Amino acid sequence: MQIPKEAKRQARVLFDSALDDSGRPDSVKALFVADLVVKAAPRHSVQILREFSRLIRLETAKHHAVIESAATLDKDTYAAILNSLHLRDGGLVTVETKVDPSLIGGARIRLGSLVWDASVRSRIAALSS
């Protein structure tokens, strides 16, 4: 089902009002905005809330990194990756680490929709294709 243009526009305005001074989603503001929409019950309120939620989710994902490695990262490597992510993102990135033995070696880092894959598995796949 497509979202009406007016609902998208209203969701975007609400999204902009839910950002903090640094341009990142503020959870308190976002909950307050969602509560206001529910109470006001404007036309297309469900679509507005879905679009608002999607915008918040996408913006939050831009500042959340997932680091996957074949083995647990040593402190120096983890610190170097974390430092690079903080420099790229302005210092406000959340990090989640995962161990995935199927990577064979190396690491894969995902920050929002960006992916840096330096795993042995991806290199083998590139050679075989």
Task: Select from 61, 85, 107 the last residue of a domain.
Answer: 61
Could you tell me how many residues make up the chain? Answer: 129
Quick one: pLDDT at residue 1?
62
**Whether residue 45 is found in the same domain as residue 100:** no
Share of the chain above pLDDT 90, in %: 82
User: What pLDDT, on the 0 to 100 scale, is given for residue 92?
Assistant: 81
Give residue 91's domain range.
Answer: 64-128
Per-residue pLDDT at 22: 84
For residue 88, give every residue at least 6 positions away whose Cβ sits within 8 Å of its Cβ, in sequence order, or none: 111
**Total-model pTM:** 0.74
Mean pLDDT, to the nearest integer, of 3-11? 93
What is the chain's mean pLDDT, rounded?
Answer: 93
pLDDT at 97: 96
* Whether residue 21 sits in one domain with residue 76: no
Q: Tell me, yes or no, whether 51 and 83 share the same domain.
A: no
**Amino acid letter for position 51:** E
Same domain, residue pair 42 and 83: no
Domain count, the chain: 2
- Residues 54, 101, single domain; the answer is no
**Cα three-residue angle 89-95-62, rounded to 5 degrees:** 45
Residue 111 confidence (pLDDT): 93
Long-range pairs of 47-52 with CB within 8 A, sequence gap ≥ 24: 47/3, 47/4, 47/7, 47/11, 48/7, 48/10, 48/11, 48/14, 49/11, 50/3, 50/11, 51/3, 51/7, 51/8, 51/11, 51/12, 52/11, 52/14, 52/15, 52/18
